[in-house]
A and B are shown apart, each in its own frame.
Chain A
Amino acid sequence: MAKAKLMDYDKALELFEPVLGFEVHVELSTKTKMFSAAPNNFGSEPNTNITPTCLGLPGSLPVVNEEAVRYSISLGLALGCEIAESSSFARKNYFYPDLAKNYQISQFDEPIAINGNVEVELPNGRIVQVDIERAHMEEDAGKLTHVGGSTGRIQGAEYSLVDYNRAGVPLVEIVTRMIEGAEHDAPELAKAYVATIRDIVIALGISDAKMERGNLRCDANVSLRPRGSDKLGTRTETKNVNSLRSVERAVRYEIQRQAQILADGGTIIQETRHWHEDTGATSAGRPKSDADDYRYFPEPDLLPVVPDPALIEELRAALPEKPADRRRRLKADWGFTDLEFQDVVNSGLLSEITETVAAGATPQAARKWWTGEIARLANAAEGDEGIDISPAQVAELQQLVDEGTLTDRLARQVLEAVAAGEGSPREIVEAQGLAVVSDDGALIAAIDEALSAQPDVLEKIKDGKVQAAGAVIGAVMKAMQGKADAARVRELVLERAAAL
Chain B
Amino acid sequence: MSDLIHKSAAELAEMLAAGTTTSVEITQAHLDRIAAVDGDVHAFLHVNAEVSLAAAKASDERRAAGAPLSDLDGVPIAIKDVLVTTDMPSTSGSKILEGWMSPYDATVVTKVREAGLVPLGKTNMDEFAMGSSTEHSAYGPTRNPWDLDRIPGGSGGGSAAAVAAYEAPLALGSDTGGSIRQPAHITGTVGVKPTYGGVSRYGAIALASSFDQIGPVTRTVLDSALLHDVIKGHDRHDSTSLTDEWPSFADAVKNANVKGLKIGVIEQLDGEGFQPGVLARFHESLELLKASGAEIVNVSLPSLEHAVAAYYLILPAEASSNLAKFDSVRFGLRVQPEGGGTVEQVMSATREAGFGAEVKRRIILGTYALSAGYYDAYYGSAQKVRTLVQCDFADAFSKVDVLASPTAPTTAWKLGEQLDDPVAMWRGDIATIPANMAGIPGISIPAGLADEDGLPVGIQFLAPAREDARLYNVGAALEALLEKKWGHTLLSQAPELKGGAL
- A and B co-occur in one complex: yes
Could you list which residues of chain A lie within 8 angstroms of chain B, going by C-beta atoms?
52, 55-64, 91, 93, 95, 97, 100-103, 160, 162, 291, 293, 295-297, 300-303
The total number of A-B Cβ pairs within 8 Å is 100
CB within 8 Å for A61 and B330 given contacts A293-B371, A297-B370: no
Q: Say what secondary structure dominates the interface of chain A.
A: loop
Q: Is the CB of B84 within 8 A of A59?
A: yes
| Extra contacts besides A61-B202, A95-B344 (10): CB < 8 Å | A57-B84, A58-B97, A59-B106, A62-B239, A63-B238, A160-B343, A162-B329, A295-B321, A295-B370, A300-B240
Give the contacts of B190-207 with A (CB-CB under 8 A). Answer: 201-206
CB within 8 Å for A301 and B324 given contacts A59-B84, A295-B367: no
CB within 8 Å for A56 and B103 given contacts A95-B347, A293-B371, A303-B240: no
Q: How many residues of B contact A (CB 8 A)?
A: 43
Cβ-based interface call for B209 (8 A): yes
Instruction: Identify the closest chain B residue to A94 (Cβ).
Output: B324
Q: Is the CB of B239 within 8 A of A301?
A: yes
Q: Is the CB of B201 within 8 A of A300?
A: no
Instruction: List chain B residues, Cβ under 8 A from A303.
Output: 239-240
Instruction: Identify the closest chain A residue to B197 (Cβ).
Output: A303
Instruction: List chain B residues, Cβ under 8 A from A293.
Output: 371-372
Instruction: List chain A residues, Cβ under 8 A from B321.
Output: 91, 93, 103, 295, 297
Q: Is the CB of B209 within 8 A of A59?
A: no
Please report the C-alpha to C-alpha distance between residue A103 and residue B90 in the assembled complex, in whole angstroms. Answer: 23
Q: Is the CB of B330 within 8 A of A300?
A: no
Q: Is the CB of A297 within 8 A of B379?
A: yes
CB contact between B371 and one of A95, A101, A295 (< 8 Å): that residue: A295
Q: Is the CB of B324 within 8 A of A58?
A: no
Q: Say what secondary structure dominates the interface of chain B.
A: loop
Cβ-based interface call for B259 (8 A): no
Cβ-based interface call for B292 (8 A): no
Please report the C-alpha to C-alpha distance between residue A101 and residue B206 in the assembled complex, in whole angstroms. Answer: 12
CB within 8 Å for A60 and B240 given contacts A93-B324, A297-B317, A297-B370: no
Instruction: Identify the closest chain B residue to A35 (Cβ).
Output: B239
B104, B203, B206, B325 interface centre (most CB from chain A within 10 Å): B325
Q: Is the CB of B371 within 8 A of A102?
A: no
Please report the C-alpha to C-alpha distance between residue A301 and residue B202 in the assembled complex, in whole angstroms. Answer: 10
Binary interface encoding of chain B residues 68-97 relative to chain A, with 1 for a CB under 8 A from any of its CBs, else 0: 000000000000000110000010100001
Q: Is the CB of A59 within 8 A of B239?
A: no
Q: Is the CB of A102 within 8 A of B237?
A: no
Please report the C-alpha to C-alpha distance between residue A93 and residue B323 in the assembled complex, in whole angstroms. Answer: 11
What would be 14 A-B contacts, judged by CB atoms less than 8 Å apart?
A: A57-B103, A61-B201, A61-B239, A93-B324, A93-B370, A97-B327, A97-B329, A100-B325, A101-B325, A103-B324, A295-B370, A297-B370, A300-B208, A300-B210
CB contact between B203 and one of A59, A97, A297 (< 8 Å): that residue: A59
Give the contacts of B92-115 with A (CB-CB under 8 A). Answer: 92, 97, 100, 102-104, 106
A62, A102, A162, A295 interface centre (most CB from chain B within 10 Å): A295
Q: Is the CB of B205 within 8 A of A58?
A: yes
CB within 8 Å for A58 and B370 given contacts A63-B239, A301-B209: no
Q: Is the CB of B330 within 8 A of A100?
A: yes
CB contact between A302 and one of B90, B239, B318, B330 (< 8 Å): that residue: B239
Instruction: List chain B residues, Cβ under 8 A from A58.
Output: 84, 90, 92, 97, 100, 102, 205-206, 325, 331
CB of B210 to closest CB in A, whole Å? 4
CB within 8 Å for A64 and B318 given contacts A52-B104, A59-B202, A100-B330: no
Cβ-based interface call for B399 (8 A): no
Instruction: Identify the closest chain A residue to B329 (Cβ).
Output: A97
CB of A165 to closest CB in B, whole Å? 14
Instruction: Identify the closest chain B residue to A98 (Cβ).
Output: B329
Q: Is the CB of B102 within 8 A of A59?
A: yes
Please report the C-alpha to C-alpha distance between residue A227 and residue B407 in the assembled complex, in whole angstroms. Answer: 71
Please report the C-alpha to C-alpha distance between residue A64 and residue B239 in the assembled complex, in whole angstroms. Answer: 8
Cβ-based interface call for B236 (8 A): yes
Instruction: List chain B residues, Cβ under 8 A from A291.
Output: 372
Please report the C-alpha to C-alpha distance between residue A162 and residue B97 in the assembled complex, in whole angstroms. Answer: 21
Instruction: Identify the closest chain A residue to B344 (Cβ).
Output: A95
A93, A100, A297 interface centre (most CB from chain B within 10 Å): A297
Instruction: List chain A residues, Cβ under 8 A from B318.
Output: 297, 300
Instruction: List chain B residues, Cβ under 8 A from A300.
Output: 208-210, 240, 318
Instruction: List chain B residues, Cβ under 8 A from A57.
Output: 84, 102-104, 330-331
Instruction: List chain B residues, Cβ under 8 A from A55.
Output: 330-331
Binary interface encoding of chain B residues 310-321 relative to chain A, with 1 for a CB under 8 A from any of its CBs, else 0: 000000011011
Instruction: Identify the closest chain B residue to A299 (Cβ).
Output: B209
CB of B265 to closest CB in A, whole Å? 31
Instruction: Identify the closest chain B residue to A89 (Cβ).
Output: B239
Please report the C-alpha to C-alpha distance between residue A304 and residue B153 in the assembled complex, in whole angstroms. Answer: 36
CB of B260 to closest CB in A, whole Å? 36
CB within 8 Å for A59 and B324 given contacts A93-B370, A100-B330: no
Binary interface encoding of chain B residues 236-253 relative to chain A, with 1 for a CB under 8 A from any of its CBs, else 0: 111110000000000000
Instruction: List chain B residues, Cβ under 8 A from A97.
Output: 327, 329, 343
CB of B127 to closest CB in A, whole Å? 13
Give the contacts of B208-254 with A (CB-CB under 8 A). Answer: 208-210, 236-240
